[in-house]
Structure 1
């Protein structure tokens, strides 16, 4: 072979590979960097699109008229002609889409193509004497070079013209506004939306819309997909078995099994080909190829569910369980540690749905190690092996099938992603309606709205079914189209292989190997789109969980925080200010001192800020101004656990777990004995009532304690506070739902509980706080009066008016 022929063959191989690689890498860079199409007028973009499509299609068509220089088409010519048709045809199809494109991937491919085609023309046209000869193929090549040069030149000239126009119209003071050459806002719909995540165009809740806007803004601010996906490293770390030794061992075994499985994908069809050739050679001799058949069965056994697949399943389970547990417990713990401002606006059903969807990210490990890695490995091996088995023509068919399969899959995935978002929203909405109705059954019954709630739930189920149906229809339609492409590709490869065998270019066994191996080729092709769809689905399902995990508590331990050193129990509010909403202050300049062991009562009209004072003391929120100190220590400088461990709280609306009374009371101090629990219940004047129940202390109280009356519920809550034996007691309307006789018994218990303890009492019944050491009258977020009962009554002010109103109500009731 002459040096000129060798150079031509090398250029034949390099040309389509270099062009395809350049275009693919440039497109990948544009995708990862979230680059947008060039800004231009709509007419200019349309004109450029038409010209580019026509010229690119011409280049592709010119290759189809390429005449081989010899009767037998060599592999380099097959790669050159077939690969070029595939590449230029794919680019033409891409140009047929939107009128606006990111042009530099095309520009780079056109420039590289023109240069390499010129090199091929020069090398082929030069004879040994140094003279240049033109043939029909060379004329076609010149036409292709001209078309590629025009394409590259037109885009280059446009870019230069636009840069000059932008420079001429740029204001002297450097305005950041858009120039007159920019597209209008209406043109933005023509941009390459495939560079951004699919958005849900259906109706959705305000929270979902807000979440999508946040993600879209975060993606644009990140500047690239790589920066955007960095946020998902948190979820990836949770899914990977980094802390479980047995799971890590299973992962290592999985890697070995995956490598062995890749080898079996080749060995099984290859062994069938060997058996076919062996049987052909011993035809009618009576000889049986035991060794070849035995080896084939060994490979089949290793690749079956009784072989390596069984090991895969056994090793996969611990990894999935680890990820499921890690994600679930991390999300749950994060939610439980968020601050009061989050939980005041939460929706329990949506939070549970977010955790449930996020827990399915245990598939992330499967995706990374069982799908993506083997898929890439199989594709590379398949291209090399099929080329060695026959020639590059069947490899080109396989690449063509892969490109078509992937394009259809990508498009169907974009449709499915949009419908998946609607499906997820409909699913969450059904869960929300269901949870709201069942959780508020009493309210529904009170207003006789059962039929209305059933209709609402029926509507939510119908919307769920419609969204689910649309999602799966798009899903199934995409699969059907992809499988059709696979069947056509298999038919083409089988016919070409049969042609090679019929001409004696390959043994019969190679045909059997190819037909058997084709199913192995289909697997990675199927995995390409499936993996993209799987990744898209995991990202969609994990968006809400990721947003949840990114939510940080507003009240946290400071780095220098130390445990609370409780000595006496003196509480000092110093010019405290606070607001739930920055537009309106809830507390303003609250200052008072609660001496150790004293009882402080907070009274006033509803909404004045009494409960807010207790919330700040418990540090549900941090103060906006001033400070709160316990024994001289700012509560913001001590750890939350040590601070809250010092309190015993009886809330205004107590809630119990759906367990026994014994377990609910013991929740205050888990190490308490049964006798301790009963003693606390006696102190709360509820013991006699409990033992009158059929199951006594083992009686279940229902969800949130709905089986108990209001007075019973509140007294059990008081018993919990008594059992806790706290340093500081917080009572928020602790006797609002008990009768006068029970109230008197509870007051005695409170006196015993408050002995030696600092106690804060929020009360509307002023009769319950007459003996308080200090009474603070709170109105509109300010302390308007302070003193003992006698002192305040003598002032004849706000407290006196409140006292008189209550006496009047009591007299009227009598």
Structure 2
């Protein structure tokens, strides 16, 4: 082959590849770096789009005209020009590339232009090279004059596109006024009717690559919040690569770094994946070899035993009885490791978060976050075991089919893949609104159902069962209508995608059959292609699904990432030591604290609780009594001042040793949905049954428990709902007694019991608090008359202090509280 002709052949091959690569890389970079369209007037954007679309379509039509000329030549049997493989690739690939560019130019007038300008410049240069090197050798050809005219017209159009793109860019830089605060729009986000749209400080039409996240109608607020946080984090990171770096935390949790057996399974799994990729190729190839052997041994009686045996070996290895079984067995330990690691890490993190987080938590949301987090091992598995092999299969398919026949069939495969993906994207966009309505109707049905069942007593009280059934029936009908409308579009899109696959398979089969009939390929190659096509279809059908699934996994992982990034506000300081408990002397020194910086909860609280004494906190609701106990238990850290136990600042001791010293009876105790024996023993897991019963006797609840049909094995229901208020509180007291604490905290511990039971509990308290420092929060002043020190708390300050007798003689706030309660009790009598 002459050197000049060789150069022409090489240019034919690289021209569509180089242009397509340039355009694809430009768009990929714009997407990954979250680049935004440039600002320009709407009229300028429209004119630029019109020029670009018109000239791009002209280039496309010129290539189609050249292809039709070649086809007409072959159809008429002129054969005066051999349409070689490089020409097929050049013309067919160019039609595909410029058609893709033209399609992308349709629609929005404001976009990121540099991928298009780069493709036009590259196209102008390469088309000029092809024309200049190949024109002289084609001068004597029948169609050389027409080809030259078409070629010159394409160069002119591409040059005009490149020049216009550059001129528009330069002109925009020169003419665009500098944006300042006066010209910046006041409103930077808007809400469309039907669904919220989160936008940046630029027109929503500007977004081509910068992700704009649209909230579905009725979408849960938490999901909208997570999507908004994802959008903000993307903008802060500046690119998708920087954004995805945060997910290395999940990758570390899912990676079996501490499990030898899981590591071995992972190694085997990677080897099986590579073998599976090879088998996808070897099975159809071996079938083609068998076909060629049978064709050559026609009517000879010879059977290709070896080839058939090898084919069956490949089929067996590629089946669920072969390597796929090994894959399942190897995935199980890896999944279990990741499931356990992620779940326990998330659960432990939640349990160690501070009170400020726990006070604002949504339990259902946290449980959903843990549940989703435990399944986020699928994110790594999906990327490395699904997406990776899928891309690898596509690359192998393109290379192998090219070697098997030629690049024409490879081009058909690429066109089928792009067409399949584009149709899937468009149909998904069309179905989006219907999907929103379907989701809203589904949630509405669930809402009606849950509210009616959850409020059964209210329904029964007002005899509204028929009304609720009617409401639910209406919600079901709306759900069915919305579901049918959505799935009709979904199924239509699915049918269109499958039609593209069938047309692509038909085109490839016809072209392969043509090559075989011309003697350019053996019959076995046709059989190989037909059987290999299913392997080609699998990754194509997974592309759009994979993108959606990966996007959803990233959104779901935002919940877990946000949770793991939340740090407790109360932690062990560096160098913290265990609490060295001596006598139990507690000192509050100028303590200030605020839940919210805008309002102080405690202000300059100072007092000393001597060891073994009982300190009572009284006052109106919301005055700060329970806050004092929370600070002592170190649910929160003081804003200023200090709290000391036996001279040790509680911020300098470990949380575990501090809290191990306390026994707490809260105002609203909560039990696990387990037996009474298990709930009381929770305070000290090694306690015997007799010790549990003794604690219950001390709390005056033993006789009540043994009257239950199942006694101590009676389950108490969720949070103890099967028990009365008094029973619940006495069991909580028994639990505190069993703990045998050094410091006792009683927060309204007798608020829900009758007078007779209260008297029995007071005797139990005397045993519990003997020689122990005790804090009592009480509204019933009669229960704290014997306290060694009574603190009257009002608006976060201690306004009075002393014993009952001392405070009563002051005729102050305590006296007024005592008089009100005494008058109320007298009136009740």
- How high is the TM-score relative to the length of structure 1? 0.92
**Which stretch of structure 1 is more off in the superposition, 220-229 or 64-73?**
64-73
SS at match of 2:263: helix
Q: Distance in 2 between matches of 1:57 and 1:41?
A: 24
Partner of 1:285: 300
Q: 1:27 to 1:353 in 2, by over 3 A?
A: same
SS at match of 2:398: helix
CA contact (8 A) 2:34 2:240 kept: yes
Partner of 1:691: 706
CA contact (8 A) 2:56 2:98 kept: yes
CA contact (8 A) 1:353 1:428 kept: no
Per the TM alignment, residue 636 of structure 1 is displaced from its structure 2 partner at its CA by: 2.4
SS at match of 2:375: helix
Per the TM alignment, residue 526 of structure 1 is displaced from its structure 2 partner at its CA by: 1.7
CA distances 1:271-324 after superposition (whole Å, capped 9, x unpaired): 111111111122222222222211111111111111111111111222222222
CA distances 1:434-473 after superposition (whole Å, capped 9, x unpaired): 7787778778878888788878877887787777667656
Q: Distance in 2 between matches of 1:255 and 1:800?
A: 79
Partner of 1:605: 620
SS at match of 1:483: helix
**Which stretch of structure 1 is more off in the superposition, 601-610 or 211-220?**
211-220
Q: 1:414 to 1:591 in 2, by over 3 A?
A: farther
Partner of 1:94: 104
Q: Out of 126, 150, 156, which is 1:116 matched to?
A: 126
Q: 1:316 to 1:434 in 2, by over 3 A?
A: farther
CA distances 1:576-635 after superposition (whole Å, capped 9, x unpaired): 222223332222222212122111111011121111111121122222232222222222
**Which stretch of structure 1 is more off in the superposition, 107-116 or 624-633?**
624-633
Q: 1:321 to 1:108 in 2, by over 3 A?
A: same
**Which stretch of structure 1 is more off in the superposition, 799-808 or 138-147?**
138-147
CA distances 1:502-556 after superposition (whole Å, capped 9, x unpaired): 2222121111111111111111212222221220221233333333333333322
Partner of 2:291: 276
SS at match of 1:628: strand
Q: 1:13 to 1:278 in 2, by over 3 A?
A: same
SS at match of 2:203: helix
Per the TM alignment, residue 245 of structure 1 is displaced from its structure 2 partner at its CA by: 2.1
**Which stretch of structure 1 is more off in the superposition, 101-110 or 323-332?**
323-332
Partner of 2:602: 587
Q: 1:240 to 1:714 in 2, by over 3 A?
A: same
Partner of 1:706: 721
Q: Distance in 2 between matches of 1:245 and 1:420?
A: 45
Matched, 1:385 2:375: no
CA contact (8 A) 2:291 2:523 kept: yes
Partner of 1:736: 751
- Give runs of aligned pairs for residues 24-423 of structure 1, distance below 5 A: 24-66=24-66, 71-126=81-136, 135-166=145-176, 169-170=177-178, 178=184, 188-193=203-208, 195-196=210-211, 198-412=213-427
Q: Distance in 1 between matches of 2:725 and 2:357?
A: 27
SS at match of 1:555: coil
Structure 2 gap ranges (5+): 71-78, 191-199
How many equivalent residue pairs? 806
Q: Distance in 1 between matches of 2:472 and 2:778?
A: 41
Q: 1:276 to 1:217 in 2, by over 3 A?
A: same
Q: Distance in 2 between matches of 1:743 and 1:302?
A: 76
Q: 1:319 to 1:390 in 2, by over 3 A?
A: same
Per the TM alignment, residue 695 of structure 1 is displaced from its structure 2 partner at its CA by: 1.5
Partner of 2:5: 5
CA distances 1:732-759 after superposition (whole Å, capped 9, x unpaired): 0000111222211211211221122111
Per the TM alignment, residue 425 of structure 1 is displaced from its structure 2 partner at its CA by: 8.0
Per the TM alignment, residue 78 of structure 1 is displaced from its structure 2 partner at its CA by: 1.4
CA contact (8 A) 1:40 1:183 kept: no
Per the TM alignment, residue 775 of structure 1 is displaced from its structure 2 partner at its CA by: 0.7
Q: Distance in 1 between matches of 2:269 and 2:793?
A: 67
Partner of 2:813: 798
- How high is the TM-score relative to the length of structure 2? 0.91
CA RMSD of aligned residues (A): 3.1
Q: Distance in 1 between matches of 2:152 and 2:742?
A: 93
CA distances 1:166-212 after superposition (whole Å, capped 9, x unpaired): 4xx448xx7685599x9999972212355415422413454444333
CA contact (8 A) 1:349 1:435 kept: no
CA contact (8 A) 2:666 2:748 kept: yes
Per the TM alignment, residue 731 of structure 1 is displaced from its structure 2 partner at its CA by: 0.5
CA contact (8 A) 2:62 2:154 kept: yes
- Give runs of aligned pairs for residues 269-668 of structure 1, distance below 5 A: 269-412=284-427, 475-668=490-683
Q: Distance in 2 between matches of 1:238 and 1:104?
A: 40
CA contact (8 A) 2:112 2:208 kept: no
CA contact (8 A) 1:349 1:432 kept: no
Partner of 2:22: 22
Structure 1 gap ranges (5+): none
CA contact (8 A) 1:261 1:308 kept: yes
Q: 1:640 to 1:187 in 2, by over 3 A?
A: closer
Q: Distance in 1 between matches of 2:494 and 2:350?
A: 39
Q: 1:787 to 1:412 in 2, by over 3 A?
A: farther
CA distances 1:240-273 after superposition (whole Å, capped 9, x unpaired): 3333222222111111111111111111111111
SS at match of 1:65: helix
CA distances 1:717-741 after superposition (whole Å, capped 9, x unpaired): 0011111111211100000111222
SS at match of 2:775: strand
Q: 1:354 to 1:128 in 2, by over 3 A?
A: closer
CA contact (8 A) 1:253 1:315 kept: yes
Partner of 1:757: 772
Q: Distance in 1 between matches of 2:467 and 2:616?
A: 45
Q: Distance in 2 between matches of 1:563 and 1:731?
A: 24
CA distances 1:629-652 after superposition (whole Å, capped 9, x unpaired): 222222223222222111111000
SS at match of 1:9: helix
